[in-house]
């Protein structure tokens, strides 16, 4: 057995030389050429054998030229796929074309030679080549995978799976698994909701009715996993299927959307567990814009707040471009160090990591003077609503004063574009954090005409998986056995993934001309209570029997419903259907600037109530909710 194992390991790690593949193909071409003559002459050797043998070298030369043109001999036989088949067919047709042209020329000039091959022989030869060349490669591929797969199943703890979906996507998943020679997965069958497919067989595998997949069925056939492979499926239906099978103690996975497949092909490694992102109830936002490549080419780019969830992902996405220098600035030393090590391990070049505070004007001036950035992505901010409600001084210091420092330096040093990351909590704010972010928006909009720098704002909702977001909190609470804490049963939020949020930022920088506030069409808002129930379900547990949900009451400054547009704002479209520009109501730039600068300069000297009072003066729509600062709204109501 050990000898067999060693032989099979060597076999799986070795590949046939391209010259061996070419020789094999040429041998088949000669064989099919002889067979074509036999078929043409009714399987009697009544043709000129001497002429036939003289034609073989010419046919071999023509075939070699054809196969070299399409490089069909370079393909790895064990991984033969549709593209390889197309290549072979093109090569075979090139061979037939060469033979037809040589025959035509030979007959045109009435020169009876080895180049004159009967047209019927050429066409029969072409068809036989298609059958034998393609068939031989798939036969070898099948034998190889059969041997290797049997070996893996014998030597590993292989597991059986059912593919939910017997359509095109299900077949792609089937092919991806069966073509992976190192996989120890055995496909038992398919499941489908379509009654017309139930009971039929695909590649000798039965299509089952979902109702038939009972606990007894799973135990009897030792099914370990269900892979959901349906490209168009609602979040409700996905949750329903997931919940049904998790309740039967069977793992559930899902294939990713087609746009995420690698070079159009699904890889087994891409099949993943069902995540909460899959249950958002909206299509993932995909942004592909070739303009971005030119936009960031040979540019010096600075990212503030680079150690945070958004800032670090912006930095990662920027590494895909041919930038000149990437400057990563943050005051948080440990996470910045982690990002630095990540970049080093990924062999990313031309980046600098700087521990610095955006509030420190002198230090930031030194950084701008040293590196002369052409793009600034300003992600540095305090974002936790309850913390900032109790610390308005710090909220103003970072969110307002930090933005003032960075934007003023952008004008001073001639930065091309300044992109600020804002939040939906800046819309009709009910808390200090949201109001300070709104002030930051107002300040950079006032600066837009002051210099050559184009100031752009991106405004989006909650980011799944970001530091301090509800998803990591729920995961920790589930690990501890619950309960999950939700502030209000009706509270809703808009959600997007971190990559989506950062794609918006990079897209905004490319399309922005200055002064815009970009907002996302993020679909439906999500009830946090439902999100909590779904996360319990995805953990293989039940609500409320296994884990309960506790309603704790709204926190200071917290809204039940979030908004993406303020009163008096509406939107106009951009070239991307999911990105819009908020048309803000007009403001008195001079008055607004003076008020913001006064807040910035006097913030260290003011008491808490004075700070919040000044914030409310700058942002009239800021009405406190469930907060001690509601007292400041009374005279204005």
Task: Give the CATH number for residue 303.
Answer: 3.40.50.720
Give 207's strand partners.
Answer: 190
The answer to whether residue 636 sits within a structural domain is: no
Whole-number Å distance between alpha carbons of 420 and 308: 14
**Overall residue count recorded for the chain in this entry:** 637
Exposed, middle or buried: residue 117 (CB in 10 Å: 0-12, 13-18, 19+)? buried
Residue 334's alpha-carbon distances to 156, 340, 384, 459, in angstroms, are 41, 10, 20, 28
Residue 206's alpha-carbon distances to 104, 260, 318, in angstroms, are 53, 29, 47
Answer yes or no: do 349 and 365 share one domain. Answer: yes
Whether the pLDDT of residue 104 is over 90: the answer is no
The answer to whether residue 628 sits within a structural domain is: no
- Residues designated catalytic: 425
Whether the pLDDT of residue 147 is over 80: the answer is no
Residue 311's alpha-carbon distances to 112, 263, 272, 296, 453, in angstroms, are 76, 28, 26, 17, 21
Tell me what the mean pLDDT of segment 328-350 comes to.
94
508 and 575 Cβ atoms separated by less than 8 Å: no
* Count of helix runs (H) and strand runs (E) in the chain: 21, 22
pLDDT band with cut points at 50, 70 and 90 for residue 169? confident
What is the predicted pLDDT for the residue at 610? 92
The answer to whether residue 147 sits within a structural domain is: yes
Tell me what the mean pLDDT of segment 585-604 comes to.
88
Give 454's strand partners.
Answer: 417
The answer to whether residue 632 sits within a structural domain is: no
Whether the pLDDT of residue 41 is over 70: the answer is yes
551 and 488 Cβ atoms separated by less than 8 Å: yes
426 and 463 Cβ atoms separated by less than 8 Å: no
Answer yes or no: do 476 and 362 share one domain. Answer: yes
129 and 191 Cβ atoms separated by less than 8 Å: no
108 and 45 Cβ atoms separated by less than 8 Å: no
Domain-terminating residue out of 221, 247, 274:
274
- Total domains present in the chain: 3
Answer yes or no: do 19 and 68 share one domain. Answer: yes
Whole-number Å distance between alpha carbons of 566 and 430: 12
Q: Which sign does the torsion angle of CA 268, 272, 277, 278 carry?
A: positive
Answer yes or no: do 133 and 192 share one domain. Answer: no
580 Cα distance to chain centroid: 21
106 and 113 Cβ atoms separated by less than 8 Å: yes
The answer to whether residue 635 sits within a structural domain is: no
The answer to whether residue 509 sits within a structural domain is: yes
Answer yes or no: do 107 and 174 share one domain. Answer: no
Whether the pLDDT of residue 622 is over 90: the answer is yes
Domain-terminating residue out of 135, 151, 167:
151
What is the predicted pLDDT for the residue at 333? 94
Whether the pLDDT of residue 419 is over 80: the answer is yes
Higher per-residue pLDDT: 43 or 329: 329
* Cα angle for residues 203, 209, 210 (degrees, 5° grid): 115
Residue 320: both structure tokens together: 């895909």
412 and 452 Cβ atoms separated by less than 8 Å: no
Answer yes or no: do 85 and 164 share one domain. Answer: no
pLDDT band with cut points at 50, 70 and 90 for residue 149? low
What is the predicted pLDDT for the residue at 588? 86
Flag the least confident range among 166-180, 454-468, 537-551: 454-468
The answer to whether residue 540 sits within a structural domain is: yes
Whether the pLDDT of residue 335 is over 90: the answer is yes
What is the predicted pLDDT for the residue at 261? 62
State yes or no: cis peptide before 483, omega within 30 of 0.
Answer: yes
What is the predicted pLDDT for the residue at 409? 97
Answer yes or no: do 396 and 527 share one domain. Answer: yes
208 and 190 Cβ atoms separated by less than 8 Å: yes
Answer yes or no: do 140 and 162 share one domain. Answer: no
Whether the pLDDT of residue 228 is over 70: the answer is yes
Give the pairing of strands 495-497 and 300-304.
unpaired
Whether the pLDDT of residue 395 is over 90: the answer is yes
Encode burial over 607-627: b for 16+ CB neighbours within 10 A, e otherwise.
eeeebbebbbebbeebbbbbb
88 and 77 Cβ atoms separated by less than 8 Å: no
Answer yes or no: do 401 and 537 share one domain. Answer: yes
Domain-terminating residue out of 274, 304, 325:
274
The answer to whether residue 631 sits within a structural domain is: no
pLDDT band with cut points at 50, 70 and 90 for residue 243? confident
Whole-number Å distance between alpha carbons of 257 and 278: 10
Tell me what the mean pLDDT of segment 453-458 comes to.
92
C-beta atoms surrounding 264 within 10 Å: 8
C-beta atoms surrounding 40 within 10 Å: 19
Residue appearing with tokens 């239906």 = 237
Percent of the chain with pLDDT over 90: 27
Whole-number Å distance between alpha carbons of 215 and 606: 67
Whole-number Å distance between alpha carbons of 201 and 197: 8
Q: Coil, strand or helix: which one is 224?
A: strand
Q: Which sign does the torsion angle of CA 396, 398, 399, 403 carry?
A: positive
Of the candidates 83, 184, 79, which has an alpha carbon nearest to the alpha carbon of residue 142? 79
What is the predicted pLDDT for the residue at 416? 94
Flag the least confident range among 263-277, 350-364, 577-591: 263-277
Element (H, E) at 50: helix 49-70
Whether the pLDDT of residue 156 is over 50: the answer is no
What is the predicted pLDDT for the residue at 1? 46
Answer yes or no: do 174 and 303 share one domain. Answer: no
What is the predicted pLDDT for the residue at 466? 58
Whole-number Å distance between alpha carbons of 303 and 309: 12
- Residues 115-141: pLDDT tens digits? 778 888 888 988 988 888 888 887 777
Residue appearing with tokens 């909190």 = 473
Residue 144: both structure tokens together: 């190889």
What is the predicted pLDDT for the residue at 182? 63
Exposed, middle or buried: residue 403 (CB in 10 Å: 0-12, 13-18, 19+)? buried
Indicate the Cα dihedral angle 455, 293, 364, 463, nearest 10°: 70
Domain of 14, in residue numbers: 2-151
464 and 474 Cβ atoms separated by less than 8 Å: no
C-beta atoms surrounding 349 within 10 Å: 9
Of the candidates 262, 245, 270, which has an alpha carbon nearest to the alpha carbon of residue 161? 245
Q: Coil, strand or helix: which one is 504?
A: helix
Answer yes or no: do 323 and 429 share one domain. Answer: yes
Answer yes or no: do 388 and 514 share one domain. Answer: yes
Tell me what the mean pLDDT of segment 23-35 comes to.
89
What is the predicted pLDDT for the residue at 183? 67
Whether the pLDDT of residue 187 is over 70: the answer is yes
Whether the pLDDT of residue 427 is over 50: the answer is yes
Of the candidates 381, 406, 417, 421, which has an alpha carbon nearest to the alpha carbon of residue 503? 421
Whole-number Å distance between alpha carbons of 614 and 595: 8
Residue 565 per-residue DSSP state: S
3-state SS, 100-145, equals: HHHHHHHHHCCCCCCCCCCHHHHHHHHHHHHHHHHHHHHHHHHHHH
Average pLDDT, rounded, for the chain: 82
Higher per-residue pLDDT: 537 or 566: 537
Give 251's strand partners.
Answer: 225
* Cα angle for residues 50, 52, 57 (degrees, 5° grid): 105
Q: Coil, strand or helix: which one is 434?
A: helix
Tell me what the mean pLDDT of segment 184-197 comes to.
86
Higher per-residue pLDDT: 510 or 400: 400
What is the predicted pLDDT for the residue at 418? 96
96 and 122 Cβ atoms separated by less than 8 Å: yes
């Amino acid at each position: 057995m050990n000898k067999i194992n060693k032989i099979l390991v060597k076999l799986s790690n070795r590949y046939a030389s391209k010259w061996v593949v070419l020789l094999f193909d040429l041998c088949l071409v000669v064989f099919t050429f002889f067979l074509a003559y036999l078929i043409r002459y009714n399987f009697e050797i009544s043709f000129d054998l001497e002429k036939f043998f003289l034609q073989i070298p010419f046919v071999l030369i023509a075939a070699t030229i054809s196969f070299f043109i399409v490089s069909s001999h370079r393909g790895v036989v064990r991984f033969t796929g549709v593209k390889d088949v197309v290549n072979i067919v093109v090569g075979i047709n090139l061979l037939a074309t060469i033979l037809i042209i040589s025959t035509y020329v030979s007959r045109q000039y009435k020169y009876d030679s080895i180049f004159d091959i009967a047209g019927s022989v050429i066409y029969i030869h072409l068809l036989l080549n298609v059958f034998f060349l393609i068939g031989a490669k798939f036969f070898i591929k099948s034998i190889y995978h059969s041997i290797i797969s049997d070996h893996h199943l014998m030597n590993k703890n292989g597991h059986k799976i059912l593919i939910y979906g017997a359509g095109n996507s299900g077949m792609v998943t089937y092919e991806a698994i069966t073509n992976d020679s190192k996989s120890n997965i055995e496909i038992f069958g398919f499941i489908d909701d379509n009654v017309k497919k139930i009971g039929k067989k695909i590649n000798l595998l039965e299509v089952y009715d979902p109702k038939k997949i009972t606990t007894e069925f799973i135990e009897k056939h030792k099914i370990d996993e269900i892979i959901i492979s349906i490209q168009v499926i609602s979040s409700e239906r996905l949750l329903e299927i997931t919940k049904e099978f998790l309740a039967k103690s069977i793992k559930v996975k899902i294939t990713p959307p087609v746009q995420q497949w690698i070079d159009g092909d699904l890889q087994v490694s891409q099949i993943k567990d069902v995540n909460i992102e899959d249950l958002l109830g909206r299509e993932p936002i995909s942004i592909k814009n070739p303009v971005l490549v030119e936009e960031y080419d040979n540019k010096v780019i600075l990212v503030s707040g680079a150690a945070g969830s958004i800032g670090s992902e912006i930095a990662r996405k920027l590494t895909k471009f041919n930038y000149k220098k990437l400057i990563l600035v943050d005051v948080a030393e440990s996470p910045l160090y982690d990002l630095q090590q990540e970049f080093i391990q990924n062999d990313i070049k031309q980046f600098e990591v700087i521990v610095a505070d955006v509030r420190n004007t002198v230090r930031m001036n030194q950084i701008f003077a040293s590196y002369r950035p052409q793009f600034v992505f300003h992600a540095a901010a305090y974002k936790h609503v309850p913390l900032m409600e109790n610390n308005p001084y710090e909220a103003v210091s970072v969110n307002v004063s930090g933005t003032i420092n960075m934007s003023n330096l952008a004008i001073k040093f001639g930065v091309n574009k300044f992109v600020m990351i804002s939040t939906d909590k800046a819309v009709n704010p009910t808390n200090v954090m949201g109001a300070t972010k709104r002030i930051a928006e107002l300040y950079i909009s006032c600066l837009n005409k002051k210099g050559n720098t184009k100031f752009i704002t991106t405004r989006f909702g909650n980011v799944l998986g970001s530091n301090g977001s509800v998803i990591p909190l729920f995961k920790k609470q589930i690990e501890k056995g619950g309960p999950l804490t939700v502030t209000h049963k009706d509270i809703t939020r808009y959600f997007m993934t971190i990559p989506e949020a950062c794609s918006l930022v990079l897209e905004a920088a490319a399309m922005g001309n200055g002064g815009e506030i970009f907002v996302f069409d993020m679909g439906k808002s999500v009830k946090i209570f439902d999100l909590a129930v779904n996360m319990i379900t995805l953990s293989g547990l039940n609500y409320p029997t296994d884990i309960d949900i506790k309603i704790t009451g709204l926190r200071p400054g917290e809204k039940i419903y979030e908004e993406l547009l303020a009163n008096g704002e509406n939107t106009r479209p951009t070239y991307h259907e999911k990105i819009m520009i908020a048309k803000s109501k007009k403001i008195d730039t001079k008055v607004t600037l003076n008020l913001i600068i006064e807040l910035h300069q006097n913030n260290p000297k003011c008491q808490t109530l004075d700070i919040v009072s000044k914030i409310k003066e700058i942002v009239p729509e800021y009405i406190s909710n469930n907060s001690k600062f509601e007292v400041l709204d009374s005279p204005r109501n």
